[in-house]
Each structure stands twice: as C-alpha cells, then as structure tokens.
Structure 1
Amino acid sequence: MDIKWLKTFVTAAEYENYRKTSEVLFIAQPTITVHVKNLEEVLGQELFKKTGRNVFLTQAGRRFLPHAKQILDDYYQGIHEMESWKQGYKVKLVIAVSPLIAASILPSILRRFLEKNPEIEAVIKVKESIEIGDTVANGTAHVGLARIEPFHQELHVAELYKDQVILVTAHDGRDVETAPPLEMEELIHEHLILTHNHPGYWDDLLAEIGQKFSRYRTMEVSQVNITKKFIEEGLGISFLPRSSVTRELMEGRMLEVSSEDIPLPQAATYLIYKEETREVALFKEFLRGLYTFR
C-alpha cells in the first residue's frame, strides 16, 4: 500500500470530486483514478460511487476513511519526529498563546528560553484566550499563555503579571513637550472607541465610561493588531495593555493619553498547564525567573 494512494483517497473523500482533488494535489486526474483503484484492489472493496462529475464514499469507504487518516497522521508525525531528531531536538513543547501575547511579549521570551534550552523544539499554536484552557486540557498543547483565567479543575493556573491598561490615540504630529496635553473627554467625544480587543476588561470599562461621559461611540474590533492599525490610521482610539503598544509609543506612532477621569483596569497574563513534564517545568521555571507569580 502506497502512502500516496491514501493521501489521494482522503483528499477525494473531502472534495467528492476527482477534478478538484487533482488541482489540490497537483497530479493528473487519471492518476487520481489509478490511485483509488490500486487502493480498492488492496482492500478488496469499492471505495467510491460516481454520480455525474462527483464521487461519493461507499459504506466501505466511510468505514476505511478514519483508518486512512490515522495512518497518514502517524506517517507525517513519524517524518516530523525524525526531522526534529536530525536537527538535535529531543523533546517538543507545544505552547498555546493568545494573539495579543504572541505579538507582544512572546518573541522575547521564546528567544531567550530556546537559547537556554536548545534541545527543546517549540511549537506555537495561536488561539483566542477563551480557547486556550480547552486546548491545554485536551492535550493539544502542553502549556498555555492567556489573558483570561480558565475554569478547568484539572488545570494548574499561575498569574504571571499584571499589565496596566492605557488609553492610546494616533500621533497627530504635535510636539508632545510644548503642545497642550490631550484631553480624554475630547477624544472620547470625537473618536470611535475600538473595543473588545481584549477578553477581560471591556464590559466593566465601558460601564465606567458610560457613567462619566454622556456621549461616545464604539466599534468592536476583536484583534489587537487590527485595532492598532486602525488607531494609526486615525479611525479611533482604544484602551490597551501597555505591553501591546510599547513599540508604537517608543516610535512615536501613538500617544498615551492621561486617564485621570476614570480608573483604568489591569490586564493579567496567566500560565496554564495540565501536567508538569520536564519541558513544562523548564518553561515554568524560566518564566519564574522573569516574573514573580503565584
């Protein structure tokens, strides 16, 4: 049995069309037919029924499909493991991380951790914070870095640090040393507030804004990177964790606005893991050296 036959079979089962399968796999359509027929001869079962231009799995095809997928998964996993071994890796650490953390603190953390532990192969899975607890709980990732605390009894959770939330707006070309300071009330009245780019604090913060200011408009933008781009283009303002806009503030692309009118929250970052394997313990101790966490 050729691994190519299995790949063709699984792809054809997904698209139910030999022409589309041919386009996806970059092989001629007659070759698709040959692969399927060869597999059918080995199994002694017909795997597809043809109806017009489309093909559909037979009962035998549906029964064999999960086995074919598992064989392919094992094959590619084996290839990957051998490649990792050739490159000097001994263990793998899969980290589930929120987009905000991935775009801010993770690169620096990861670079220093891998320099200290070159035998560890890191795999990064970017997930929304609300998904990270499930990802670690079901074993898809060994450890998670999230902006909200998961409620899974089987997980260990440690708060790494708290990040001050600040109000930021686009730099308007002013000389920050001589120009009058920007007023929060004026900005909120004149600009859209770009909201819900962080999972933890927006509902309470909007309640505070509503109590203080009689007039404001909002627009939900679920990703921090998109929020920052919108701010730089003058589309709105937002309240973001300081760590997520450090570079933009340093490079003068954004301005921090005084926020004495309302109390601003802090955004916590959490370390999440299920089993403290050796590689998880190394990552945890490395983070403990950077942050004081409980």
Structure 2
Amino acid sequence: MEIEWLRTFIAAAQTENFRQAAESRFITQSTVSKHIQHLEKALQTSLFERHSKHVKLNYLGTHFLRQAEKIVATVDEAVQSTQSLKSGFTSQLTIGVAPQIANSTLPAIIERFQQQKPAIQLSVELLKSNEIGEAVYAGAVDIGLSKLTSTRDVQTKILAKEPLQLIVPIGKKNIDPMMLLQQETILTHEYSPYWQEVQQVLQQLPSYKSMQLNQTEVIKNFVKQGLGIAFLPQSVIESVYHEQLLHSYSVKAFSHIVSNTYFLSKYVTANSEAFLAVCTAIYKNR
C-alpha cells in the first residue's frame, strides 16, 4: 500500500468527485481511478458507491478515511521532524497568538528567542484571543499569547498591564480629547476586555457613539483615515506613532483602565519557560 494512494483517496473522499480530486492533487483523473482501484484491491473491499458519473463514500470508506488521515498525518509529521533535525532543529514550539500581539510585540519576541535558542523551530498560529485558551488546553498549540484569560485549566501568567492610549488622526491632535470623545465615533475591538470599563467612563459624558470592529489593524487604519478614534494599549500603536501617522493621548479619566497580555500554557517545559522568559523581558523593556 503506497502513501500516494492514501493521499488520493483522502482527496476523493473529501470531494466525492474524482475530477476535483485530480485537480487538487495535480494528477490526471485516470490516475485517481487507478490509485483508488489499487487501494480497494489491497483492502479487498469497495470504498465508494458508484452511480454513473458520481461517487459516494460508503460505510467502510468512511471508516477507512479516518484511518488514512491518521496514517498520512503520522508520515507527514515524521518527514517534517526529520527535515527539521537535518536543518539543525532539535525540537519544535507552536505558538497560538492573537493578531493584536502578532502585529506588535511578537516579531521582537521571536527575534530574541531565535538568537537564544536557534535549535528550537517555531511555528505560529494566528487565533482570536477567545480561541487561544481552548487551543492550548487541547494541545493544538504549545503556548498562547492572548489578551484574554481562559476558562480552561491552563497555567496563566500576566506579561503586561498596559495603560490605554486614546489614538486620533494626526490632523486632530490639537483638539481637546474629551471633546473628541463626544464628537467622533469611538472604534472598539469585539474582544476588548477593557471596553466595559471604558464605557462606564463614557456614560458620564453628555453623548458618545461607537462602532465595533474585529481587528486592531483595521481600527488603526480607520483612525488614520479619519473615520474615528480608539483606545488601544501602547505596544499596539508604537509603530504608527513613531511614523507620525497618529497622535495619542493619555486621558486622565481613563488612566485606571489597563489592557492585559497573558501567557498561557498547559505544561511547564524547558522550551516554554525559555519562551516565557523572553516574552517577559521584551514587555519589561517597552
């Protein structure tokens, strides 16, 4: 039984269409048919119900699909780990990270970690903050960098408590921030854990309006385009601030509100502790 037969079978099972399977595998349709025939002969059973030009996975085919996916995944993992070892890597660390962190502090963290631990291969999975705890708990990622804690039983450490900055378009930097809060649309992230605290202060104003977005980078772009203002942690706005594309205020009425960044892990390992040490150092120096 050849691994390529299994790859073809998985593609055909997922699409239940030999032509589409051929296109996804970059082989001919006749090759797909031959691979399936070889596989069925080896297993001594049919895996598909065939109706004219259509095929449908049968009961045994559905069972075998799960086994085939496990076999292919094991082979791929073995090949990847061997190639990593050949390239000088001795272990791997998978990081689940929120986009807000990936677009701000993560590059500096990775750069320093790779300098200190060049034999560890890093891989990054971009996830929403509310998904990271589950991914860590399930073992889909080794560690998580999130703006939210998790309801799962994972180890949680605070990396940073950052005061919020009010960011506004550079052309409005001379306008009183409290006036801007009443005049401009306040843009907020759907997973901002500090938004409720911000709202409590805003409710003391005569009026305000807000708009919810789902990405911090979109919020910053909207502000640059003059479409609103926003409260964001300092680490998130450093690059655009230094480029003088935005202006930021520390507004006294909101000075008690902070944005937390969390390090999540299920197990304590030498690799995770080394990565935590780098994260701590990077945030401490900001």
CA distance in 1, matches of 2:147, 2:250: 24
Question: Which consecutive residues of structure 2, in runs of 5 or more, have no partner in the other structure?
Answer: none
SS in 1 for 2:193: coil
Pair 65,274 (structure 1): closer, same or farther in 2 beyond 3 Å: same
What percent of counterpart residues are identical?
A: 30
CA distance in 2, matches of 1:263, 1:247: 22
In the other structure, the counterpart of 2:279 is: 287
CA distance in 2, matches of 1:273, 1:247: 29
- Contact 1:183–1:258 (Cα < 8 Å) also in 2: no
Q: Offset of 1:141 from its aligned partner?
A: 1.5
Question: Which consecutive residues of structure 1, in runs of 5 or more, have no partner in the other structure?
Answer: none
CA distance in 2, matches of 1:84, 1:66: 27
SS in 2 for 1:193: strand
Instruction: Say whether 1:43 aligns with 2:46.
Output: no
SS in 2 for 1:245: helix
- Contact 2:99–2:215 (Cα < 8 Å) also in 1: yes
**TM-score, with normalisation over the residues of structure 2?**
0.93
Q: Offset of 1:289 from its aligned partner?
A: 4.0
Instruction: Say whether 1:144 aligns with 2:144.
Output: yes
- Contact 2:163–2:255 (Cα < 8 Å) also in 1: no
In the other structure, the counterpart of 1:248 is: 240
In the other structure, the counterpart of 2:165 is: 166
In the other structure, the counterpart of 1:224 is: 216
SS in 1 for 2:276: helix
Query: What does the per-residue CA deviation read over 1:90-143, in whole Å, with 9 as the maximum and x for residues that have no partner?
Result: 011111111111110010011011111111111111111111111111111211
CA distance in 1, matches of 2:150, 2:60: 42
Q: Offset of 1:197 from its aligned partner?
A: 4.8
Q: Offset of 1:194 from its aligned partner?
A: 1.1
CA distance in 2, matches of 1:108, 1:30: 50
Q: Offset of 1:86 from its aligned partner?
A: 0.9
Range with greater deviation from structure 2 (242-251 or 252-261)? 252-261
Range with greater deviation from structure 2 (104-113 or 186-195)? 186-195
- Contact 1:163–1:241 (Cα < 8 Å) also in 2: yes
In the other structure, the counterpart of 2:155 is: 156
- Amino acid of the structure 1 residue aligned with 2:163: Q
Instruction: Say whether 1:13 aligns with 2:48.
Output: no
Query: What does the per-residue CA deviation read over 1:175-224, in whole Å, with 9 as the maximum and x for residues that have no partner?
Result: x6xxxx32223323332211125431112212321222x32222110111
In the other structure, the counterpart of 1:97 is: 97
CA distance in 2, matches of 1:199, 1:105: 17
CA distance in 2, matches of 1:131, 1:33: 40
Range with greater deviation from structure 2 (126-135 or 80-89)? 126-135
When the two chains are superposed, the root-mean-square deviation of aligned CA atoms in Å is 1.8
CA distance in 2, matches of 1:130, 1:121: 26
- Contact 2:201–2:253 (Cα < 8 Å) also in 1: no
SS in 1 for 2:275: helix
Q: Aligned ranges for residues 163-242 of structure 1 at < 5 Å?
A: 163-172=162-171, 181-212=174-205, 214-242=206-234
SS in 2 for 1:163: strand
CA distance in 1, matches of 2:249, 2:280: 32
Query: What does the per-residue CA deviation read over 1:61-95, in whole Å, with 9 as the maximum and x for residues that have no partner?
Result: 01101000001101110110011001100011111
Query: What does the per-residue CA deviation read over 1:255-286, in whole Å, with 9 as the maximum and x for residues that have no partner?
Result: 11352354451111111111111211222233
Q: Aligned ranges for residues 52-131 of structure 1 at < 5 Å?
A: 52-131=52-131
